[in-house]
A = this chain, B = another copy of it.
Amino acid sequence: MTLKLLLVAAVIAAAPAQAEPAAQEKAAILAEYIDLLAIPNVATNVSDIRRNADHIMAMMTRRGLAPRLLEGDNANVPPAIYGEWPVPGAKKTLVLYAHYDGQPVTPEDWKSTQTFEPKYYTDRLDRGGKQIAVPAAGRPIDPEWRIYARSASDDKLGVMAILKAVDTLKAQGKRPAYNLKVFFEGEEEQGSPNLAALLAKHQDTLKSDGWVIFDGPSHPSGAPQVSLGVRGDINVDVTVHGPTRPLHSGHYGNWVPNPAMVLSQLLASMKDKDGRVTVAGWYDDVVPLTEAEQAAIRAVPAADAQLKSELGLGWTEGNGISLLDAIQQPSLNINGIRAADVGDKARNVIPISAAAALDLRLVKGNDSKRQVEKLIRHIQAQGFLVLDREPTMAERQGNPRIATVIVGPGYNAERTALDNPLAQSVAAAMKPYGAVVLPSLGGSLPLYLFRETLGAPTVSVSLANHDNNQHAEDENLRIGNLWRAIDIAAAVMQAR
């Protein structure tokens, strides 16, 4: 452990005695959480999403939050769930946000459990965690235990922390320092394509002085994070076309062009060996950090060496810059790539196409549409005809290289100033927990919409364990992080 990490550990140790729930209460909290995690929540399945919404509404009704659905333009739009705890005499109104939908799942890749059958493990799987039974009421519960299930960390944790913090305050006879509103989104992991319209439609209901976003992981040191911004995000699917039918690689190999090779060459052209994006103008438009923001970054304990070690990294992109500096820049990431099959299913063929799923992260100054245009111009500059559909036979015959480029929904970055009153108030409430303050998370949320549509500033609070396998197989939550998240949510509700 480095000196800096020791200092962080000391800060965490100095945190106030957390209002950790009593043993009896813990089992009840976990039972309620497991029930929520057991409902599949991939946002493309709207009937699943509505089952989640019904379930969460019932949880909110039990807590007197008068929940209702904020519907979009039609029944296929995943609804947001709204609730409130009015506080007579409160001068300000705060909206607490979490999202109840989750990333898509590939069950065959999960080693821990079925994706929506939450299970307890004694530790992280790759450290030898063993599955254990559901803890009985009153039995000791180790904070190092983990719950494995999709959305355990991202982001039903946010929903659960907010609702249990309401219980905490009520049990202690306390009230929030604000008129409290709650907003649970249902399509965040799909890129929030309907959020702008939904916020606009319900803007009177959602009137506030600011939003606190409960989402994202803690700092690798374990410290909770307050972030004043997020990167923007836009997904781009690139498909390169080969022969119209799959061909025997012996009879046609080294004459019929192989789309997997063509795609590899195209992708390789997008980054240099150090990981710098070579698309022309990629780093233009970036609004530099202020001096105060740079100072905030320098104040965060460096976790790079720890991360490199635990992730088994022999190098990092960006010629040795730190993770925190790297995420202040726009990125180009390959989420996935596929042509035909590999391993046992591989056959000696020339595939008919090869596809890559890209995501572009954006920082303040980037415009999502403009960033995509740079990428498309780059693909064209590599000799490709770029289409937004399958090519016709005539287009195939007349063009050596064709890429179908499908641009998903996307949004820009957002950054609240460090001296914003809401930012300062949330940071102060979390200081006893050793929180670090970041100008921007590396991850994304459509926070610019809240400012653009509602004029409201946003501050993000990130509480899950950093090693939660968010977005991937074997997503999990360290149980100690649930107790702390509830505690911090209660502190934020009372922050002045």
A319 to chain B, nearest CB (A): 11
- In the complex, the answer to whether B336 meets A339 with C-beta atoms within 8 Å is yes
- In the complex, the answer to whether B397 meets A308 with C-beta atoms within 8 Å is yes
- In the complex, the answer to whether A397 meets B314 with C-beta atoms within 8 Å is yes
**Hey, which chain B residues are within 8 Å of A244, CB to CB?**
126, 310-312
A97 to chain B, nearest CB (A): 17
A441 to chain B, nearest CB (A): 7
**Hey, which chain B residues are within 8 Å of A314, CB to CB?**
396-402
Verify if A84 is at the interface (C-beta below 8 Å from B).
Answer: no
Q: Which of A315-351 contact B (CB under 8 A)?
A: 315-318, 321-323, 326-327, 329-351
**Hey, which chain B residues are within 8 Å of A355, CB to CB?**
342-343
What is the number of residues of chain A that contact chain B, defined by CB distance less than 8 Å? 108
Verify if A265 is at the interface (C-beta below 8 Å from B).
Answer: yes
- Interface window among A160-168, A250-258, A448-456, A479-487: A250-258
A252 to chain B, nearest CB (A): 7
Verify if A243 is at the interface (C-beta below 8 Å from B).
Answer: yes
- In the complex, the answer to whether A249 meets B361 with C-beta atoms within 8 Å is yes
Verify if A172 is at the interface (C-beta below 8 Å from B).
Answer: no
- In the complex, the answer to whether B333 meets A251 with C-beta atoms within 8 Å is no
- In the complex, the answer to whether B337 meets A254 with C-beta atoms within 8 Å is no
Q: Contacts A251-B442, A257-B317, A263-B264 known; list 10 others, CB within 8 Å.
A: A104-B341, A243-B311, A248-B471, A251-B443, A253-B327, A314-B399, A335-B348, A336-B340, A337-B337, A346-B357
Verify if A106 is at the interface (C-beta below 8 Å from B).
Answer: yes
**Hey, which chain B residues are within 8 Å of A271, CB to CB?**
261, 265
Question: Residue on B with the closest CB to A462?
Answer: B251
Verify if A247 is at the interface (C-beta below 8 Å from B).
Answer: yes
Given A268-B264, A338-B338, A471-B349, residue A126 in contact with residue B318 (CB < 8 A): no
- In the complex, the answer to whether A397 meets B246 with C-beta atoms within 8 Å is no
- In the complex, the answer to whether B251 meets A217 with C-beta atoms within 8 Å is yes
- Interface window among A11-19, A140-148, A230-238: A230-238
Q: Which 10 A-B pairs have the closest CB atoms?
A: A246-B472, A312-B396, A250-B443, A346-B357, A254-B331, A268-B268, A336-B340, A315-B400, A255-B326, A260-B334
A263 to chain B, nearest CB (A): 7
A445 to chain B, nearest CB (A): 9
Given A235-B346, A246-B473, residue A318 in contact with residue B254 (CB < 8 A): yes
Report which residue of A231, A250, A314, A349 has the largest number of chain B beta carbons within 10 angstroms of its beta carbon: A250
- In the complex, the answer to whether A393 meets B313 with C-beta atoms within 8 Å is no
Given A251-B216, A253-B333, residue A313 in contact with residue B246 (CB < 8 A): no
